[in-house]
Amino acid sequence: MKKCFFILAIMVSSISYGQSFRFGITGNSGLGWFTPQTKYLSASGSNLNFGYGLTADYEFSDNYALNFGFQIGQNGGKLTYDSLIYQLPKSTGGTYLDTLLGLTYEYKNQWIELPISLKLKTNEIGYLKYFAAFGFKPAILSSARARNMLSSNITTSDWFFVNKKENDNLDMYREDNIIPVRASLLIQGGVEYNLGGKTSMFGAVFFDKGFTNQTSDPNLKSNNSMVGLQVGIFF
């Protein structure tokens, strides 16, 4: 976390020393889903996720820039497990271990994201510039939550923390179910509208393609991706 704020401080201070930097705020929303890599998992749908943060362009020419970001973002989706071992409550108190089949869970994970990409821009056409960006987005897990979606064996549908094991109703037997780091390829395409001077607003469609495994069990491998819309303003 300290390293993230150090990088952010460098971005902000750079604006004071060079006219090639632009600084702004951004928000996004989109649909996230899992892509299982093993036969023990199957994808069961997407869910809606949101994010927000800061963005900066280092413009080394009129048509090319490096874009940096510091964002708090969500991602997730729905996964069905062929079988899982659970701690289930006893009627007399305490818990016992049992294996349940065909359970579907919805995940909503929150990440600290540090995207970096190369942005290619057209010359201004009227008040508009069109751009495309290609890059890389490393992320560190902030929190991981899940809830049971489809099961007659378990009646609770409350969200619980997966990695922190803080729920009172039902715990996954595997203590760390979501790997705390993520890396993805980032592709964007959008338009920027000049509001006057250096101020402009922008909107873009993005594809965030995860290429690292997100489940800690070696027999349950799955990647996590997202497609959505990003909007923001440069000052």
Strand partners, 81: 41, 103
Residue 86 has pLDDT above 70, yes or no: no
Residue 196 has pLDDT above 90, yes or no: no
Read off the pLDDT of each residue in 161-179 and give the average, rounded to a whole number.
Answer: 59
Residue 16 has pLDDT above 50, yes or no: no
| DSSP-based helix, strand, coil % in the chain, nearest 5 | 5, 65, 30
Distance from C-alpha of 54 to C-alpha of 69, rounded to nearest angstrom? 6
The domain spanning residue 71 has which CATH number? 2.40.160.20
Read off the pLDDT of each residue in 75-91 and give the average, rounded to a whole number.
Answer: 73
Query: pLDDT higher for 119 or 216?
Result: 119
Hey, how many other C-beta atoms are within 10 angstroms of the C-beta on 233? 16
Distance from C-alpha of 172 to C-alpha of 174, rounded to nearest angstrom? 5
Q: Quote the pLDDT of residue 98.
A: 60
DSSP code at position 127: T
For residue 11, being part of any structural domain is answered with no
Give backbone dihedrals phi and psi of 17, rounded to 5 degrees, phi first. Answer: -110, -5
Q: How confident is the model at residue 168 (pLDDT cuts 50, 70, 90)?
A: very low
Q: State the pTM of this model.
A: 0.80
Distance from C-alpha of 44 to C-alpha of 177, rounded to nearest angstrom? 18
How close are the terminal C-alpha atoms of the chain, in Å?
26
Read off the pLDDT of each residue in 31-39 and give the average, rounded to a whole number.
Answer: 91
Structure tokens belonging to residue 39: 């036969």
For residue 17, being part of any structural domain is answered with no
Q: Quote the pLDDT of residue 150.
A: 60
Assess contact for 49 and 29: CB atoms under 8 A: yes
Hey, how many other C-beta atoms are within 10 angstroms of the C-beta on 93? 6
Hey, how many other C-beta atoms are within 10 angstroms of the C-beta on 64? 12
Looking at the 3D structure of the chain, how many domains does it have? 1
Residue 82 has pLDDT above 80, yes or no: no
Q: Quote the pLDDT of residue 200.
A: 95
Write out the residue range of the structural domain in which residue 92 sits: 22-234
Q: Quote the pLDDT of residue 31.
A: 97
Share of the chain above pLDDT 90, in %: 52
Q: Quote the pLDDT of residue 209.
A: 96
Q: Which amino acid is at 162?
A: V
Q: Which residues are CB-contacts of 16 (< 8 A; sequence separation ≥ 6)?
A: none
Structure tokens belonging to residue 92: 């007399």
Query: pLDDT higher for 111 or 9?
Result: 111
Q: How confident is the model at residue 84 (pLDDT cuts 50, 70, 90)?
A: low
Read off the pLDDT of each residue in 9-33 and give the average, rounded to a whole number.
Answer: 75
For residue 7, being part of any structural domain is answered with no
Residue 32 has pLDDT above 60, yes or no: yes
